[in-house]
Structure 1
């Protein structure tokens, strides 16, 4: 073992240190520390890229064009519906168009400004009415040119963007009242993870904060896109939303996730610095205080009392040490037993 030349000191040669597994480092105070916070989460659909396709007016389902789970492209037809209101609006637009053509042929001079303006306004009014019923602009333009591929009153429900059909609450022949949901279209290129955090006072999680997310046995990287300021009354947690690029569409709503956020540790004072030591550097003294072993000169260790403030990322924040001091971060147990043999306690009682 080591020599006890003076109470509270242990002297050890390099060889003895190596055999006892003692590792010494010069400690550095740190200013910019990132604290890792872990929270449970769940994958949800990216609502900014999710569309609820609904009927604008009372309609009947004529044909279903997709099945649940199908990938569709922007412009694909989801279903073909029939509506009496659309048939009526189409007829009114036809009448307005023929009047407008007649008036235009005769010219503003012949028919008078009032009739000319009214005829034009009537076309615009009926065009808007048809579009408000769910006949989109492209179809309406085609209808005006006489190139409509659908029978009177028939109209398609069209995918406004690429995505997957995740809900389809309709059957052929079914009557749907205005506002009924036809399908839920989700673009899965991006998904969200909603994480639940304990509501710490004053803790800010800025938008853009990076996070590591573990789902199953895979790791993903995400960014915080929203930090809720409200605390959920039931769970007493605060929700943050993260966005993940869902390459290969591996992730789906409902997957459980573990979220690891990296946040800069807020230090109170401007010149505040932190000294962090691993668990292995700490030993309890005979009266229960926390101590560390400081190498005062090569091979000479002294047991010093320290204060533990809190734990950051599994490391202990220590008060009572200075930057540059050499501390045993491994082998503290061995040094403590050597001191015990010498009957030393740090208070020199």
Structure 2
């Protein structure tokens, strides 16, 4: 074989050996490219799925939000003109900021109104014969309280009877018949005897009745003590047959329809309080309106405070002497605030404070507010803007009609 033939065979062998590896390498390259292509396709699908899910969730959430907003409809109650008139509903036109007094809060104690309180005491040594009233009785002026018997009164009654007859005789004879001295003595003796029985405890009407009877046997020293004022008996401490000395308190009668509250303030606080300042007295969680009637001028030696006397009405007998209270006194310092009548602020079913606002004529809706404080007959509130129309009279009726409609103030 020549050289050319040998070279040709050698090239064929090399080509034959190289062909399987090239085919294998090409296949691997094809698989690798295929895997990369598949990865890209998988990534596309995954991105598509994630985008779809995210878009779906976002759309769902937005749809839910819109749906929730759709469900939260405006809650209000509309009343007819007839209902407005019957309930006496009044609306404050566009509530605005007002200069409202700040409040001074101070502890206090309920006390008897001493100007409307009477102590019933005998003026001479006596013995209790009969009781005509007892503790807790509500009595009228002039009503008999008890019957007493006194030796001194018996003497005075006898003297009155004798001098009355003498005076009538002398007066009938006249100054032309009797001497001037006898006329004067008879007149003076009668006057002194009358004054004595009155000083011992008989009233003018009782003395006149005694003299009109002309019965000497009635000069036995018995007499009745009568009520000098109307009120309630709050003190009653004696027994039948007891010997009583002059000045002993048998009864204390007080008109409790008007009581006092003694509040303790520092001297600096008193500077901002004046006679007539409106006050809210808080007792047992209830508010009672009052006003300052007196301010003490001497410091309490123990507490170094000044007493401020507040007069408070107690027509329903809910307040009692000795009870500790909190007094909120209107100060002379004033600050801008929103205020409505106390009756305009109501408790909702969940305990929040609300007022009713009118956004259309005769149509009302509740508005939750914060009750900051009360000043006299006003309630200082926060939670609404100036310019809102607020129901000031008949709010309770509006609330009841709102409840009938099935709405919940809390949900609003």
TM-score bracket for the superposition, by shorter chain length = 0.5 to 0.7
Contact persistence 2:161–2:214 (CA under 8 A): no
Secondary structure of the equivalent of 1:200? helix
Equivalent residue, structure 2, for 1:40: 107
Structure 1 residue 167 and structure 2 residue 235: aligned? Answer: yes
Instruction: Give the alignment partner of residue 177 of structure 2, picking from 83, 93, 110.
Output: 110
Among 206, 212, 216, which residue is 2:284 paired with?
Answer: 216
Q: Residues 275 and 249 of structure 1: is their aligned pair in 2 closer, same or farther, counting only changes over 3 Å? A: closer
Aligned to 2:65: none
Q: Deviations over 1:160-193 (max 9, x none)?
A: 1111111112110000111111111111111111
TM-score, normalised to structure 1's length? 0.65
CA RMSD of aligned residues (A): 2.4
Pick closer, same or farther for the CA change 1:222–1:201 going to 2, 3 Å: closer
**Is the Cα–Cα contact under 8 Å of residues 98 and 336 in structure 2 kept in the other structure?**
no
The 3-state SS of whatever aligns with 2:213 is coil
Say whether residues 1:158 and 2:226 are aligned partners.
yes
2:326 to 233, 258, 283: 258
2:100–2:336: 8 Å Cα contact kept in structure 1? no
Q: Which runs of 5+ in 1 are unaligned?
A: 1-29, 267-273, 277-312, 315-349
User: 1:90 Cα shift?
Assistant: 0.7
Cα deviation, 1:127-157, whole Å, max 9, x if unaligned, reads: 0111111112221122222278966200111
Residue aligned with 2:124, SS: coil
Contact 1:33 1:264 in 2 (8 A): no
Whole-Å separation in 2 of the counterparts to 1:208 and 1:202? 13
Greater fraction strand: 1
Q: Which residue of 2 aligns with 1:81?
A: 148
**Structure 1 residues 47-86: aligned runs within 5 Å:** 47-86=114-153
User: Larger relative CO (CA 8 A, sep 6+): 1 or 2?
Assistant: 1
Distance 2:336 2:313 in 1: 37
Look up the match of 2:297.
Answer: 229
Q: Normalised by the size of structure 2, how large is the TM-score?
A: 0.55
State the number of aligned residues. 242
Answer whether contact 2:110 2:324 (CA < 8 A) is retained: yes
Q: Is the 8 A contact 1:32 1:264 kept in 2?
A: no
- Secondary structure in structure 2 of the residue aligned to 1:257: strand
In 1, Cα distance between the equivalents of 2:235 and 2:175?
53
Instruction: Determine the C-alpha separation between the residues in 2 that align with 1:79 and 1:73.
Output: 14
Does the CA contact (< 8 Å) of 2:128 and 2:149 recur in 1? yes
Task: Using the TM superposition, name which of 98-107 and 62-71 deviates more.
Answer: 98-107
Task: Find the residue that maps to 1:110 and give its secondary structure.
Answer: coil
SS in 1 for 2:261: strand
